[in-house]
């Protein structure tokens, strides 16, 4: 039992747990204190000073986000002094900020804009500091843009990159009036250790960090009568998109999303979940092959644990930070890239369109996917496999621009082929989902029986915990798999690169051994991706997670290998997992990258 | 007609060298902890580097903490322009500082100490290292398990602020932390830490040698003892002086001025400007509003005669702050830029003179909301200069 502390806020008495901050205590009383540098996901910085409040007996104001409650404390969150100071602080921030709200990507979603509206900052007497600032704008990366003129130096991005992601691509440099957020030697984000995960974007309160937008390019393609525009949608988009269009967190909008995409004018509306199922077939087989080589052939060279490769943020992270482990990465492309390669081969043939006349678009909860689609090796179809990647947020922009009343849409179905998927495919969008989907299939292949969990729900791999471990005892194997008889398959699952770092260190030090590890760059997995709606915290992630599992439960087929279109693609085109053709189209290789 | 100038009483405690350091230390270390703490508290010694926090209380709080690992840190960052008293103390009487650290270590239970030395004072290192080696031998003889190391600072003024100093020692960027928690509870490596200015530690030696009373006898209520001042500006006798606290600015000017003094800046850029009309009414010490909140009380006394433009003086201070702010918090980072650009705009006639009042209100916000002493104290020089020399800001 922790001790309770009594205090009063605006004259209202409240008793809260010791260790809470004034801000948290005020929240309990439903008193909102404005904040900017504060974010629930991050450690406390206390640098913006917007959340200052008056404490009786203290001749200074105190930052409520950083000050713990104490017995008998009397707080005023809305005194004249407090209001005047807050107003000053917002005014000051605006003088360093290039005010071009109407031209800003974050217009309408900006915390600074919101605050300045709340405090009615209508006349600005202070001197505009922007003209003397020499701000840099970095638009080189295919995924992330950084515009220092919009930055308020709250360091949320810095803390995100360091704490949540253990990457440290951005840091504070210089002091005084020149203090800014920089990369190594001020290089472009494209030339540093940045993984393109976009968590900095999701945590940025303003338009200083944004995704590179391809909305106009996609509109152009749609308007071009000579091309056939194919769109694929990732699992986590269908449970995130609604938030951006006025629906609550965790609303499932799969059918509406499909309807909207059709109205936007995409020629084929297909599903990344289909290639998620395909990934399971390829990756599952790859894992079993590696296990066989290790256990039967006694091949000591075989790299175990095998690591998933569907999160491009993670892939770039391991390329930078643990290149010695690249052989452990599954050679499978991510579902997006498998889809791209098939769209311009298998699908093109199926609809009888020349591949050069196909424009392949994907809608992703992710910004790293933009980078991934631009990797030079992603051209196995003979063309750029995925032409444009849009985030969930960008899709919402298109839907709004098109004047579609999203809530009113009736559900529609994905086109076929490459539009049918399973519950196993949809759970790719949540941490632990790839593992669960793989186990559902692999276990059944090896034993002929379903995984020994109620309703196929492999609960040990579920939840938002940073590092999860699970093991599954394999018994009653089929004859051809009897080398796995009695083997305890050891797995680990992490989300957020900070946890990937922890896991990799444990593996490196020999503290832990596994057969298979699933690693997602973003907290919560793709549902918490860098391309998903703002704002996000664990409460929102949890709702999105529940929505994904509901989606899984409600699908008629829940195992990848039972997807009829998967059976068909092997029959008609790929032959079998890890076939020559699969290798050519669905697998890839990785490169070692620099450390900074 | 000649008037006899009253010569201020020069004190010679700090720099007086004595050979019996080991004996003094032996005696001090043999006393029970409580007795040492009482001595320190009774002496009335307040910190000579910062907010003037009572040193005895700081030691007591740290001693009371149950944590196993604790640290004693000597703050020798001395970044205030025009002050070099800490450098003098460290080069002339280092054993006093080290002894102060050792006694503090004994009562708090710290086994490790650091001297955070300003980067520009690197030349002191070889001599200081020799002193430390000698001192370690003495400690071995006396049976105290305590070791002192030098940590060379990186050059930023803000690293003299105690929590930024810890960050910098931990290999991070020198940015002040949120307070609470305070260093006595959570300092270097998040362990209880006593951090004291060089001069404070040297005074503690004096107190242990002569007893609290001798120290208390100097100075006035709430401002006990002597203080080393760095006197500069329009004075025929610039330099370092140890003076008794409690003198008025008038006394000081009579002694150090050039006969034409129009104002004195007490406490450096973060201190206050005292104009001639307030010389007699202003006492130099910790309680009088003037130095009480001046940060850091590095003891800088800058004398300006009537040839000086107070606009230039303020402009220089603001220039310094605008550059030396760590830049993390809004009121300080942006506030300093606004103040600097603001007074320039008024001077050039681009802003009305009433803009100065708006800036005064801004400094009030900075004082109330900035995260650390730097941003909080910009208001001191700004308001005292603008209030007293408004015309000079405009014409
Ligand atoms: C911007 C800033 C700079 C400071 N620089 C110094 C310094 O150079 N030396 C110093 O002893 N204290 C400096 N201080 C004060 C320290 O934070 C701290 O209060 C002091 O070291 C405590 O020692 P004392 O109690 O012996 O004075 C500075 C404070 C601020 C806000
Ligand atoms: S007041 Fe200035 S120096 Fe202190 S934390 Fe804020 S920006 Fe940094």
Kindly report the CATH number assigned to the domain that includes residue B356: 1.20.1440.230
Q: Quick one: three-class SS letters along A300-340? A: CCCCCCEECCCCHHHHHHHHHHCHHHHHHECCECCHHHHHH
Asked whether residue B89 is domain-assigned, the answer is yes
Asked whether residue B11 is domain-assigned, the answer is no
- Asked which of B173, B189, B216 is the last residue of a domain, the reply is B216
For B2, the token pair is 């000649």
What is the count of structural domains for chain B? 3
Q: Does the annotation count A334 as an active-site position?
A: no
Asked whether residue B13 is domain-assigned, the answer is no
Proximal ligand: closest to the CA of B50: 1
Residue B127 shares a structural domain with residue B201: yes
| Chain B environment of A96 (Cβ under 8 Å) | 334, 337
Asked whether residue B97 is domain-assigned, the answer is yes
Question: How many Å lie between the alpha carbon of A47 and the closest alpha carbon of chain B?
Answer: 4
Ligand 2 atom closest to Cα of residue B333: 7
Hey, are the CB atoms on A49 and B329 less than 8 Å from each other?
A: yes
Question: How many Å lie between the alpha carbon of A93 and the closest alpha carbon of chain B?
Answer: 7
Output the pLDDT for position B289.
44
Residue B324 shares a structural domain with residue B280: no
**Distance from the alpha carbon of residue B373 to the mean position of ligand 1, in angstroms:** 9
Considering only the beta carbons, identify the residue of B330, B331, B345 that sits closest to A127: B345
Catalytic residue among A283, A319, A444, A551: A283
Residue B110: CATH number of its domain? 3.40.50.11540
Residue B262: CATH number of its domain? 3.10.20.600
Residue B206 shares a structural domain with residue B224: no
Q: Does the annotation count A369 as an active-site position?
A: yes
- Asked which of B240, B274, B305 is the last residue of a domain, the reply is B305
Label residue A317 left, alpha or beta by phi (over 0 means left) and psi (-120 to 50 means alpha): alpha
How far apart are the C-alpha atoms of A514 and B191, rounded to whole Å? 38
Nearest to A142 by CA among A378, A330, A308, A307: A378
Residue B298 shares a structural domain with residue B273: yes
- Classified as helix, coil or strand, A595 is coil
Asked whether residue B189 is domain-assigned, the answer is yes
Question: How many Å lie between the alpha carbon of B369 and the closest alpha carbon of chain A?
Answer: 6
Residue B52 shares a structural domain with residue B201: yes
Q: Do residues A110 and A122 touch, judged by C-beta distance below 8 A?
A: no
Residue B62 shares a structural domain with residue B180: yes
Residue B198 shares a structural domain with residue B255: no
Nearest to A548 by CA among A421, A441, A428, A407: A428
* B300, β-bridge pairs: B230
CA-nearest residue for atom 2, ligand 1, is B161
Confidence grade of residue B296 (pLDDT, cut at 50, 70, 90): very low
**Distance from the alpha carbon of residue A150 to the mean position of ligand 2, in angstroms:** 21
Asked whether residue B58 is domain-assigned, the answer is yes
Backbone angles phi, psi at A420, to 5 degrees: -95, 135
pTM of the model: 0.94
Hey, are the CB atoms on A85 and B325 less than 8 Å from each other?
A: no
Asked whether residue B171 is domain-assigned, the answer is yes
Asked whether residue B6 is domain-assigned, the answer is no
Residue B147 shares a structural domain with residue B294: no
CA-nearest residue for atom 24, ligand 1, is B47
Q: What is the 8-class DSSP label of residue B348?
A: T
**Distance from the alpha carbon of residue B13 to the mean position of ligand 1, in angstroms:** 22
Output the pLDDT for position B6.
61
Residue B50 shares a structural domain with residue B193: yes
Hey, are the CB atoms on B358 and A125 less than 8 Å from each other?
A: yes
Residue B32 shares a structural domain with residue B156: yes
Tell me the residue length of chain B: 395
CA-nearest residue for atom 23, ligand 1, is B196
pLDDT at B293 over 60: no
Residue B163 shares a structural domain with residue B259: no
Q: Do residues B230 and B82 touch, judged by C-beta distance below 8 A?
A: yes
The reply to whether ligand 1 has any atom less than 6 angstroms from the CB of B51 is: yes
Residue B211 shares a structural domain with residue B245: no
pLDDT in tens, B6-19: 677 788 999 988 77
How far apart are the C-alpha atoms of A479 and A66, rounded to whole Å? 62
Residue-wise pLDDT tens for chain A (596 aa)? 579 999 999 999 999 999 999 999 999 999 999 999 999 999 999 999 999 999 999 999 999 999 999 999 999 999 999 999 999 999 999 999 998 999 999 999 999 999 999 999 987 889 999 999 999 999 999 999 999 999 999 999 999 999 999 999 999 999 999 999 999 989 999 999 999 999 999 999 999 999 999 999 999 999 999 999 999 999 999 999 999 999 999 999 999 999 999 999 999 999 999 999 999 999 999 999 999 999 888 898 999 999 999 999 999 999 999 999 999 999 999 999 999 999 999 999 999 999 999 999 999 999 999 999 999 999 999 999 999 999 999 999 999 999 999 999 999 999 999 999 999 999 999 999 999 999 999 999 999 999 999 999 999 999 999 999 999 999 999 999 999 999 999 999 999 999 999 999 999 999 999 999 999 999 999 999 999 999 999 999 999 999 999 999 999 999 999 999 999 999 999 999 999 999 999 999 999 998 88
Provide the domain limits for residue B113: 21-216
Ligand 2 atom closest to Cα of residue B176: 5
Domains of chain A: 4-78 (3.10.20.740), 92-211 (3.30.70.20), 226-596 (3.40.50.1780)
Q: Do residues B174 and B139 touch, judged by C-beta distance below 8 A?
A: no
User: If you search the block for the tokens 């918490």, which residue do you land on?
Assistant: A528
Output the pLDDT for position B5.
55
- Asked which of B272, B305, B338 is the last residue of a domain, the reply is B305
Question: What order do you get walking across the sheet with A306-307 strand by strand?
Answer: A306-307, A516-520, A488-495, A467-473
Q: Chain A interface residues facing chain B, Cβ-Cβ under 8 Å?
A: 44-50, 52, 60-61, 63, 66-68, 81, 84-85, 88-89, 92-93, 95-96, 125-127, 129, 152-153, 155, 171-172, 174-179
pLDDT in tens, B249-285: 999 999 999 999 999 999 899 889 999 999 998 888 8
How far apart are the C-alpha atoms of B338 and B359, rounded to whole Å? 8
Label residue A575 left, alpha or beta by phi (over 0 means left) and psi (-120 to 50 means alpha): left
- Going by their DSSP bridges, the two strands B112-117 and B147-152 should be labelled as parallel
Please, is A159 exposed, middle or buried when counting C-beta atoms within 10 Å of its C-beta (0-12, 13-18, 19+)? Answer: buried
């Amino acid at each position: 039992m922790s001790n309770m502390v009594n205090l009063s806020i605006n004259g209202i008495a409240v008793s809260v747990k010791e260790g809470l901050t004034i801000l948290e205590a005020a929240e309990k009383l439903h008193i909102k204190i404005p904040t900017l540098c504060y974010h629930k996901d991050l450690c406390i910085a206390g640098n913006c000073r917007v959340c200052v409040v008056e404490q009786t007996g203290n001749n200074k104001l105190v930052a409520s986000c950083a000050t713990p409650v104490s017995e008998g404390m009397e707080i005023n969150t809305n005194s004249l002094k407090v209001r005047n100071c807050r107003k000053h602080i917002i005014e000051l921030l605006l003088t360093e900020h290039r005010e071009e709200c109407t031209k800003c990507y974050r217009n309408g979603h900006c915390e600074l804009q919101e605050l300045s509206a709340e405090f009615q900052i209508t006349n600005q007497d202070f001197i505009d500091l922007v003209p003397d600032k020499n701000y840099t704008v970095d638009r080189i990366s295919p995924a992330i843009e950084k515009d220092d003129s919009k930055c308020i130096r709250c360091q949320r991005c810095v803390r995100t990159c360091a704490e949540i992601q253990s990457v440290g691509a951005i840091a504070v440099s210089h002091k005084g009036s020149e203090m800014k957020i920089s990369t190594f030697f001020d290089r472009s984000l494209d030339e540093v250790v940045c993984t393109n995960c976009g968590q900095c974007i999701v945590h940025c309160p303003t338009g200083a960090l944004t995704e590179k937008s391809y909305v106009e390019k996609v509109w152009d393609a749609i308007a071009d009568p000579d091309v056939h525009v194919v769109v694929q949608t990732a699992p986590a988009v269908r449970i995130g998109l609604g938030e951006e269009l006025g629906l609550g967190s965790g609303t499932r909008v799969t059918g509406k999303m499909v309807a909207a995409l059709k109205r936007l004018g995409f020629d084929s509306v297909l599903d990344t979940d289909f290639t998620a199922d395909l990934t399971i077939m390829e990756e599952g087989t790859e894992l079993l092959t590696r296990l066989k080589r290790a256990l039967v052939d006694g091949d000591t060279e075989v790299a175990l644990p095998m690591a998933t490769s569907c999160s491009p943020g993670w892939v770039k992270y391991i390329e930078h930070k643990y290149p010695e482990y690249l052989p452990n990465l599954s050679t499978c492309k991510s579902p997006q890239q498998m889809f791209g390669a098939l769209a311009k081969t298998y699908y093109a043939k199926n609809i009888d369109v020349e591949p050069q006349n196909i424009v392949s678009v994907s809608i992703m909860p992710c910004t790293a996917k933009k980078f991934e689609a631009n990797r030079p090796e992603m051209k196995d179809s003979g063309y750029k496999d995925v032409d444009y990647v849009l985030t969930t947020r960008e899709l919402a922009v298109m839907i709004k621009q098109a004047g579609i009343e999203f809530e009113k849409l009736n559900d529609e179905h994905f086109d076929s082929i490459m539009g049918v998927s399973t519950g196993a495919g949809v759970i790719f969008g949540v941490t632990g989902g790839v593992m669960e989907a793989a186990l559902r299939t692999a276990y059944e292949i090896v034993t002929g029986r379903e995984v020994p969990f109620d309703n196929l729900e492999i609960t040990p791999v579920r939840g938002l915990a940073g590092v999860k471990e699970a093991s599954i005892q394999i018994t009653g194997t089929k004859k051809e798999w009897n080398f796995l008889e009695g083997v305890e398959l050891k797995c680990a699952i992490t989300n957020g690169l900070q946890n990937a770092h922890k896991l990799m260190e444990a593996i490196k030090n020999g503290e832990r051994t596994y057969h298979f590890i699933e690693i997602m760059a973003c907290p919560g997995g793709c549902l918490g991706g860098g391309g998903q709606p703002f704002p996000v915290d664990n409460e929102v992630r949890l709702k999105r997670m529940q929505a994904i599992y509901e989606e899984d439960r409600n699908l008629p087929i829940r195992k990848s290998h039972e997807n009829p279109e998967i059976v068909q693609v092997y029959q008609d085109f790929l032959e079998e997992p890890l076939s020559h053709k699969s290798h050519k189209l669905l697998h890839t290789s990785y490169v070692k990258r620099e450390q900074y | 007609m000649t008037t006899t100038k009253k010569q201020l009483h020069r004190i010679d405690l700090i720099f007086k060298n004595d050979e019996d350091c080991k004996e003094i230390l032996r005696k001090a270390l043999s006393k029970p902890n409580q007795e040492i703490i009482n001595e320190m508290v009774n002496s009335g010694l307040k910190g000579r580097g910062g907010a003037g926090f009572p040193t005895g209380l700081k030691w007591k709080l740290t001693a009371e903490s149950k944590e196993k690992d604790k640290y004693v840190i000597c703050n020798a960052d001395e970044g205030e322009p025009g002050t070099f008293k800490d450098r003098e103390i460290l080069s002339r009487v280092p054993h006093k500082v080290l002894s102060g650290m050792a006694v503090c270590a004994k009562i708090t239970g710290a086994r490790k100490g650091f001297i955070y030395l300003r980067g520009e004072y690197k030349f002191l290192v070889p001599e200081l290292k020799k002193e430390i080696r000698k001192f370690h031998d003495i400690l071995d003889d006396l049976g105290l398990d305590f070791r002192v190391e030098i940590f060379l600072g990186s050059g930023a003024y803000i690293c003299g602020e105690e929590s930024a100093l810890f960050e910098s020692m931990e290999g991070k960027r020198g940015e002040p932390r949120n307070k609470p928690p305070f260093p006595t509870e959570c300092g270097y490596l998040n362990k209880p830490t006593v951090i004291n200015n060089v001069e404070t530690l040297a005074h503690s030696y004096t107190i242990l040698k002569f007893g609290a009373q001798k120290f208390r006898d100097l100075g006035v209520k709430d401002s006990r003892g002597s203080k080393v001042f760095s006197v500069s500006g329009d004075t025929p006798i610039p330099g370092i002086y140890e003076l008794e606290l409690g003198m008025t600015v008038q006394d000081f000017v009579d002694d150090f001025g050039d006969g034409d003094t129009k104002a004195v800046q007490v406490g450096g850029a973060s201190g206050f400007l005292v104009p001639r009309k307030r010389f007699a009414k202003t006492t130099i010490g910790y309680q009088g509003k003037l130095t009480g909140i001046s940060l850091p009380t590095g003891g800088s006394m800058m004398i300006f005669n009537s040839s000086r433009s107070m606009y230039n003086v303020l402009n220089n201070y603001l220039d310094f702050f605008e550059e030396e702010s760590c830049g993390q918090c809004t009121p300080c980072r942006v506030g300093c830029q606004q103040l600097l650009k603001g007074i320039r705009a008024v001077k050039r006639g681009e802003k009305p003179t009433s803009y100065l009042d708006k800036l005064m209100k801004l400094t009030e916000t900075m004082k109330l909301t900035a995260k650390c002493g730097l941003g909080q104290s910009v208001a001191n020089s700004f308001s005292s200069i603008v209030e007293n020399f408004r015309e000079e800001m405009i014409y």
